Amino acid sequence: MPPIGYYNRAFAGVKDIIIDPERGHIITEMFERVIKNGDSGRTLKKWLDICLTTRGGKKVTLSQIYLMLKNPFYYGEFEYPVGSGNWYKGKHEPLITKEMYEQVQQKLVVPEKSKWGSKFFIYKGILKCASCKSTVVAEERFRKRKHGKPPRRHIYYHCSRQKNYDCSEPYVTEKKLEEGLLRFINFMLIAHPNEINLTEKIQKGMEDYKTIRDNVLLQQDISPNSKLWDIRDYAKHVLANGDPKKKRQLFDLFDYQFYLQNRMITTLRAH
């Protein structure tokens, strides 16, 4: 059975493989989209869900898309039996050139992933997606910089799409996430101060920070008592200078489940 984009034909005792007029041009465009636009498998799937089905009328799966992109049959060659190392040039008309095929293979190469759990992300496991209630996951990206400077590392949080593959909830940078947490702490301190839960760990951290803060003020001949401070000052200090554990502890100030919605933090009571 030839891959999607072709079908078998038998005429006057002669059997051959010809291009499927309904699907062949879509396969060609699929390769072109990877080369020209850098489309990922998931991006291609959204597009193919609209314009392509299997011979049985079903939508193509993500794994099928990657198998198609790696299939040399589309440029005119095939291995038989598969894994034997015996390659043949088919008599069928190619849908792509060998150059297109090789360009796509280069784009499909991804760096070796780290072992699961080997990378630590500060806010991993805390948030859920407000749209579909899937977990929010994190990933790191490195952005190139001009003049030969080393790439800058960025952390992004986004919906894992475990419950809704097509969830459109946008990503948020770690910096914006922390800014949202500060805004929420400020709002709660003004509107619902009794609902702030000062755990023992946070109280200990606040005491240590106050000691450092008071010493700095005294060195500047400023009376510590003249400078009012509260949990907001401590939160700003932690987010600017604190270690990852103390940053995560700030979410323990509230008995809520935190959600990510339109790049902002929202909450629902956890009880």
Q: What pLDDT, on a 0 to 100 scale, did the predictor assign at position 148?
A: 66
Name the residue type at position 229.
W
224 prior amide bond cis, ω within 30? no
Q: Which residue has the tokens 């496991």?
A: 125
Q: How many CB atoms lie within 10 A of CB 28?
A: 18
Widest Cα–Cα separation across the chain: 103
Q: Is the pLDDT of residue 115 over 70?
A: no
Under a CB-based contact definition with an 8 Å cutoff, are residues 90 and 76 in contact?
yes
Cα–Cα distance measured from residue 93 to residue 90, given in angstroms and rounded to the nearest whole number: 8
Q: What pLDDT, on a 0 to 100 scale, did the predictor assign at position 243?
A: 84
Q: What pLDDT, on a 0 to 100 scale, did the predictor assign at position 250?
A: 93
Q: What pLDDT, on a 0 to 100 scale, did the predictor assign at position 270?
A: 43
What are the residues whose beta carbons fall under 8 Å from the beta carbon of 145, sequence distance 6 or more?
Answer: 151, 152
Cα–Cα distance measured from residue 244 to residue 271, given in angstroms and rounded to the nearest whole number: 26
Q: What is the mean pLDDT of residues 105-110?
A: 80
Range of weakest confidence among 111-115, 212-216, 262-266: 111-115
Q: Tens digits of per-residue pLDDT, 141-162?
A: 887 777 666 777 889 999 998 8
Helices 231-241 and 200-219: crossing angle, nearest 10°?
Answer: 90
Element containing residue 265 per DSSP (H, E): strand 264-269
Which domains does the chain possess?
6-108 (3.90.1750.20), 127-173 (no CATH), 174-269 (no CATH)
The first and second tokens of residue 218, run together, are 């005294």
Over pLDDT 70: what percentage of the chain?
A: 93
Q: Is the pLDDT of residue 112 over 70?
A: no
Name 172's bridge partners.
157
Q: Tens digits of per-residue pLDDT, 59-70?
A: 999 999 999 999
Q: What pLDDT, on a 0 to 100 scale, did the predictor assign at position 227?
A: 66
Q: Tens digits of per-residue pLDDT, 237-258?
A: 999 887 899 999 999 999 889 9
Integer distance in angstroms from the first to the last C-alpha of the chain? Answer: 56
